[in-house]
Amino acid sequence: MTNQILVSISTSAPGVLERPDTRESEGDHDRFSHYVNKTALTRSAVSGEEVIALCGKRWVPTRDGERFPVCPACREIYSGLR
């Protein structure tokens, strides 16, 4: 992660320095995409409920899963389901 300082150019508050939100949210330590039931994922997007991945991880999805590698445990379980 890089800490960047952005200078906000605004007529209402000139010279205000803004920093991007770099706080880690729960689950950031586990930088994997997980396999989740599609219906549960859709329900989570609407209601904010947590989902349960095939590997047992529970969380509320907030990030784009395509940016991360697939969880090895989820991949193994999914391949055994076919």
DSSP state letter for 24: P
Domain segments of the chain: what residues? 23-81
Q: Give φ, ψ of 77 to 5 degrees.
A: -65, -45
Q: Which of 72, 17, 51 is nearest to 4 (CA)?
A: 17
For residue 43, which of 56, 60, 19, 28 has the smallest C-alpha distance? 60
Record the tokens describing residue 33, joined without a space: 């995409």
For residue range 54-74, list pLDDT tens digits in order.
999 999 988 888 889 999 999
pLDDT tens readout for residues 34-55:
999 999 999 999 999 999 999 9
What confidence score (pLDDT) does residue 66 get? 86
pLDDT-above-70 percentage for the chain: 62
pLDDT value, residue 24: 47
